[in-house]
Structure 1
């Protein structure tokens, strides 16, 4: 290995021929220049390097770009600091001068306290070291230093920037420890501080705590340097002198460059007043700013300053992205306080008609003669309402930064454009005589800006639409307590009475959708009695027509006689009902006419030939299918007001909700096809929250729904517990089940059968449900319920155990099935099992026999069990004598099943109600039950489920759903 010794000279002004290079992980390497391979060194340097040999050969690239191997001597950071200080009076190569300048900068950094501890890891140990606080000023200084690095430094490192950062880190740690020489070990509370003192190895933080310590010190570092900056930008609004030449060219904004003083004052930068070093630092900062926010490159320069002149489009970009980007690069940006972020909004104002009729037209403009849309920027007292001229001017400006009447504002330009287009379209419609009615206006007010472009935030002078826009619902005034003959309304019923009365006064239809058993009938009777009392002897008063199922027609007659005996009631039902002129004579001076759906359908022309104050449709789910004869007939009957009563406004589909709302407020939700595209498909298929939100806002004002389970509604109703009871199939049932599934899958392979696919699937579903009930139900062969060997059905066996137990305990039960034939089988068999008469309520029972059956069951000595079909016994009946409800088979519609359960769980029930729903293990019943429960999540306004959707499944999906599992058959 080639070596050289150190020669000395006493001349301290002798040029120093040494080159220097900091090598990460090694130190400061020194070597002689090629022109003086073995020079004599000045005395101070020779003394420092005494005993060191230039022996390690390192490949270096000289200033001339040539690569050579030099014999080097390497100094650690402590010796390097002493060496650099010793060269200050000497003439040196450029890199040594640069290293000295770097050392001076780090010294100033440490003296200012811009340092923080940091945790790093090496060979599995956590090392504590000092490092700089990376403030914007430090980053700027670092960039300047790096930009001035000599070629020897830049050319002799694979990653020159990393090498410089490594030297800064080593110098910072060394200089910090050197300043702490007077701090004694152990003179502090925290052990890790010893690792920051001179001579400490640095390994003081357990590895398990290293992460937390590092995060804490990093937070300290960020807070220590977060507010420091050198260059600050300040934006000034343009004035008339800042206009660009040319028509419509726009304005120029001054983006002023300022310096923040130590005291925090801002001074605009005047280039000729800065010394060269400060000017160099500022221009470096501006270069970094341009890198951070690129649009500054296109800014026009100002000849006398360093300011940027920005177009309005560039300023809009500055607001949107530039302020954040410059802030992340360490620059503060000051914006004019006068420029506010404003949200465009629409307002709707109307004027009432003088001399409007006593009762408003339903969902028409009614008392509103004229209305006007206004577009405003901002809200509250600071809002600026735009004139037509303002809107036209905004259309020309474009962009998100606009000037209105000399005031600059930030607003969503695209939204402004859409809103301006909407207002223009409304003007055209008004001029053409096709301005929207109240239903269409409600749709616009409650929508999610899809048609208006911006939200509608204020409505005034628009009758009931004011309340909906302000509170999302109608706000009926408080009324004196309803006066009824034999009862006082509960608080929630009083609110329902006030709500119905308010909507009637507005001419707006209502859907009263309280849970079954909360007294919807008595709330309507309270409205009828109140109107009768307020308008006694009114010769122009029209009667109310009540249309209801045959099962509850007697209940309406009895309830009116009980609570409002002053009302005259006539029944329009049966073979002896009057027709023609006899109808008019018979119902003269009548307050309420009660009829059934079937009668209303047959007497459609007769009822439509008379005028009615209102129509009340009880169990309104009967008119959910608009194509049925009953629905068509009832919609043709002229009336001033419509009320629909239903235990739930939705059953199988959202289309059912549309049908009921369309009955009370025609046209409110649009046609069936429009509703399907806007609401039903997005909600049912896509679970679209925006569509659901809009539908809720649109329908909420006209639907009043309270639930029995809400303690705020009714606190004295007993508890209801619901349980899904699982039964096994018998071997006989399992064999029949498999045969039907196999037959179905084989039929679906037939191409011709695919045309009737849905019918085939639903027919198989019915047969499988019959098998799950009992083999005799499916076979229809009149075979017995049980054989000597035992039960033939797991469900029937469970029913036998439950029925005998509850009867022994003095309880009573309702047993529901959707099949009349199976109900007949159960009623006879249960009667024998319990040694008592078990009545069967089905659709073929006459009204007289039905009423007698209900009265007997409700009596104290009535039968312990009543079997009923869902269709006949699921609505309109009060059967609170039962405190057990058993659904033997399933309709797969939670709404229908809940209505049936509410025959027992309603006002008047004194005992806790126990609900059991039977399903067979390992069959389609269990899997559909799981699916149904998962669909309850969409709340009262969303889809429950029927059975028809099963017809849309593919063959593989159907087999997966229908196939019998191994666990289906019991031991």
Structure 2
């Protein structure tokens, strides 16, 4: 059985455990508790243990961060002297490697260089705290933590280039760390140790003892010791420096840290083989475009000419200065590379080139030689422009567009046009509220102007039909469109087959049923809320992917979720084959645990095809006020408390009698009942009086709305229960002294559009009561400056989407978000889950919402449901 994983997510300042559907064993539960209360202290402790099999992708990355910290820590020769005062910071190479290894998990957007530096600082602080309290040496402290760690010796070896001396182009110096009279740690040439420890032979021998180990693995160092030269600065010939550089791994294994030229650390000193793809410009039309593939030899990315290669073959083995760079000459390897080059010339398609990039840029046919596959100048520049649309040449916005695009929206519009010109599928993944619709309409208007015979199919959720219709009439009134909805699939199919309207708008349900849609060659196929095709095995997804189009656009605010299979399905629609078959991609994902640098390659590969901007980025969107979220806890009325306890007691009596689906059904039914009781006892009892004083939530709602009414502001009230909406409407009409709107699943699409238009107008419409399912996505209701979640939907993504009806572009005020929770009930206990999930992508908890609760043991379940307040 597969090991269950402790799921973690990243936050702005660290990480925290995710609530999951799994029950944990004692050990994992213990670590989960510790990570919740003291995450960095727990990570620090965990990092000294063998890598735990229950770590998820986020946990493995955190382990990698801690491992990098330990490596940096144990490379400090003054560690023993500085102890708790040591400061360990990630170097540039460490930051790059870790950034390339960030997994596709919730909160990954927070993990940047600043986050990583903060992580090092947190681990550094934990080390300092423990070492300060430890009565012994740092070496003893680390030995007690892990036998794999050792404190480096206090001696450094420095090898640097000396450009002013052609005969002796390198200099060597041995130093040691010592503490001055003022208590500061300094690095001094090794010769000063002879005077510092004069008369204290034992201390001197203790300092120098490591040199005997080094002498056994580095013959030249042994020679320096025999001649007494190690205590003085030395000039070295290239061949002498080469001898030392070759021994660096063994020297450092013996405990001495070496400061050497970066080009040797980076392995940039050897001749390597590269196959350059797309060096010259080509007429690029789609992923099947053929690109040139030209082999070459190079040093640190700099190509070598045929004459330079012959010159290297004529040199003796060792270090040779070439083009201002030191090159390691190895005749046998150089000849192998030359032989391999003869077999590398040819052509590849654009898709094959990108697949090579995903697989690590190494030629699978010659893994030992390490032939690198790299993009040429033209291909690199193209991909860079697509990844950063600001670099693209601006495209004129049609005058017939009745809107002014913001700068970032113009970039998105230009990007869509460029992707269309290249015949690439594009994912517009801006945050909800940043104006994906207007960017797409601008793109379609230009397409219509340039190709009057073009045909576009737009597929949207049913709830957004009216919204798209309204946006078309508002922003592109000259654009012909038709709506395929509200009739039989056969009749609609016959109609669309003989029609040539520019834009056809339909729903996912109808698109899956109208067979004629797959018989048309669309110029552009657009999916709004494209997460609808995230499941590659669903019938709906399979039917949508059968549609034919030259250009495909996916619109979604949450393209990357926990399951990378969702990402594969999205790209299988946009650019089929780019991520390989589902089986191939799944194999790639399985390998990410052992080779996390693959995450970086995957991000780089999909970046040209995905444009994502977030409304939290103040550099992109400065006119969107912050939203302020509060959890308003209310007390149950006496009547509510009695009914609540009664339902829980009834469940307790029946739990032991049922199992399997019957138990699951019983638990889910009870959860619905408890939510109804928390709203109002009459909702649970099916009565119609709804006296406000019988419900804590109604009382709180009245208090909040009284203030809102005094300021003549507007509010959205969300509930997941259609049956309570008329009673909320009646109550709010009394509080506001006028009536607002009610929108739920039974509201006709045309009526919804009229409601939105009225709510957004100058006329004062104080409130709108919405069911979460019907009003949670796609509607623009920025006239509201308050959002009240009357009851909680136990999926943070769904709640956030509902809140975003008001918190989006066009909002000129702060948005106050109130979440009503009954104290001591299951609502309050679940609240921590919702808060911990609020930054996650949609559907992380799953469409089942509270189904995870049914997997609890009887004892855990009753503990969760039990009313914890005295009444």
Q: Give the alignment's TM-score, normalised by structure 1.
A: 0.57
Name the CA shift for 1:448/1:546 in 2 (closer, same or farther; >3 Å): farther
Is the Cα contact below 8 Å between 2:533 and 2:541 reproduced in 1?
Answer: yes
* Distance in structure 1 (CA, Å) of the matches to 2:184 and 2:650: 75
Count of equivalent residues: 658
Name the CA shift for 1:496/1:220 in 2 (closer, same or farther; >3 Å): closer
TM-aligned CA deviation for residue 482 of structure 1: 0.9
Specify the alignment match of 1:612 in structure 2.
522
Name the CA shift for 1:846/1:225 in 2 (closer, same or farther; >3 Å): closer
Specify the alignment match of 1:778 in structure 2.
684
Which residues in structure 2 correspond to 1:579-598 (within 5 Å)?
Answer: 579=492, 582-587=495-500, 590-598=501-509
Name the CA shift for 1:827/1:338 in 2 (closer, same or farther; >3 Å): closer
* Matching residue within 546, 555, 568 for 2:458: 546
* Matching residue within 412, 437, 440 for 1:524: 440
Deviation by residue 1:286-330 (Cα, 9 ceiling, x = unmatched): 99854443336999999x9999xx9999977622132785968xx
Is the Cα contact below 8 Å between 2:645 and 2:867 reproduced in 1?
Answer: no
* Matching residue within 545, 556, 565 for 2:468: 556
* Matching residue within 754, 777, 786 for 1:852: 754
Residue 610 of structure 2 corresponds to residue 703 of structure 1: yes
Residue 806 of structure 2 corresponds to residue 904 of structure 1: yes
Name the CA shift for 1:963/1:322 in 2 (closer, same or farther; >3 Å): same
Name the CA shift for 1:908/1:536 in 2 (closer, same or farther; >3 Å): same
Residue 831 of structure 2 corresponds to residue 929 of structure 1: yes
Is the Cα contact below 8 Å between 2:179 and 2:185 reproduced in 1?
Answer: no
TM-aligned CA deviation for residue 346 of structure 1: 7.2
Name the CA shift for 1:299/1:529 in 2 (closer, same or farther; >3 Å): closer
SS for the counterpart of 1:639 is: strand
Which residues in structure 2 correspond to 1:486-885 (within 5 Å)?
Answer: 486-533=402-449, 535-536=450-451, 541-575=453-487, 579=492, 582-587=495-500, 590-603=501-514, 605-650=515-560, 655-670=565-580, 679=589, 693-741=600-648, 749=656, 753-754=659-660, 761-779=667-685, 781-786=686-691, 791-832=693-734, 834-885=736-787
Is the Cα contact below 8 Å between 2:800 and 2:838 reproduced in 1?
Answer: no
* Distance in structure 1 (CA, Å) of the matches to 2:264 and 2:819: 67
Which residues in structure 2 correspond to 1:281-300 (within 5 Å)?
Answer: 289-295=211-217
Deviation by residue 1:153-188 (Cα, 9 ceiling, x = unmatched): xxxxxxxxxxxxxxxxxxxxxxxxxxxxxxxxxxxx
TM-aligned CA deviation for residue 865 of structure 1: 1.7
TM-aligned CA deviation for residue 899 of structure 1: 2.0
* Distance in structure 2 (CA, Å) of the matches to 1:851 and 1:499: 30
Deviation by residue 1:49-72 (Cα, 9 ceiling, x = unmatched): xxxxxxxxxxxxxxxxxxxxxxxx
TM-aligned CA deviation for residue 350 of structure 1: 2.5
* Distance in structure 1 (CA, Å) of the matches to 2:385 and 2:430: 24
* Distance in structure 2 (CA, Å) of the matches to 1:336 and 1:639: 50
* Distance in structure 1 (CA, Å) of the matches to 2:576 and 2:299: 35
Deviation by residue 1:449-487 (Cα, 9 ceiling, x = unmatched): 9x9897968411674x65447996567522244123322
Is the Cα contact below 8 Å between 2:277 and 2:293 reproduced in 1?
Answer: yes
- Structure 2 residues not aligned, in runs of 5+: 1-177, 195-206, 230-238
SS for the counterpart of 2:181 is: helix
Provide the aligned C-alpha RMSD in A: 5.4
* Distance in structure 2 (CA, Å) of the matches to 1:580 and 1:920: 50
Is the Cα contact below 8 Å between 2:290 and 2:350 reproduced in 1?
Answer: no
Is the Cα contact below 8 Å between 2:716 and 2:767 reproduced in 1?
Answer: yes
Is the Cα contact below 8 Å between 2:789 and 2:820 reproduced in 1?
Answer: yes
Specify the alignment match of 1:477 in structure 2.
392
* Distance in structure 1 (CA, Å) of the matches to 2:815 and 2:575: 37
SS for the counterpart of 1:293 is: helix
Which residues in structure 2 correspond to 1:384-533 (within 5 Å)?
Answer: 437-444=352-359, 458-460=374-376, 463=379, 467-468=382-383, 477-485=392-400, 486-533=402-449
Specify the alignment match of 2:268 in structure 1.
342
Name the CA shift for 1:893/1:601 in 2 (closer, same or farther; >3 Å): same
Specify the alignment match of 1:216 in structure 2.
180
* Distance in structure 1 (CA, Å) of the matches to 2:800 and 2:526: 23
TM-aligned CA deviation for residue 636 of structure 1: 0.9
Name the CA shift for 1:716/1:286 in 2 (closer, same or farther; >3 Å): closer
Name the CA shift for 1:705/1:837 in 2 (closer, same or farther; >3 Å): same
Deviation by residue 1:52-100 (Cα, 9 ceiling, x = unmatched): xxxxxxxxxxxxxxxxxxxxxxxxxxxxxxxxxxxxxxxxxxxxxxxxx
* Distance in structure 2 (CA, Å) of the matches to 1:635 and 1:763: 37
User: Which is greater in Rg?
Assistant: 1
* Distance in structure 1 (CA, Å) of the matches to 2:530 and 2:259: 64
Deviation by residue 1:723-754 (Cα, 9 ceiling, x = unmatched): 2222222343334444544555666656x614
Specify the alignment match of 2:251 in structure 1.
322
* Distance in structure 1 (CA, Å) of the matches to 2:584 and 2:775: 35
* Distance in structure 2 (CA, Å) of the matches to 1:377 and 1:957: 66
Is the Cα contact below 8 Å between 1:459 and 1:470 reproduced in 2?
Answer: no
* Distance in structure 1 (CA, Å) of the matches to 2:618 and 2:460: 30
Is the Cα contact below 8 Å between 1:503 and 1:509 reproduced in 2?
Answer: yes
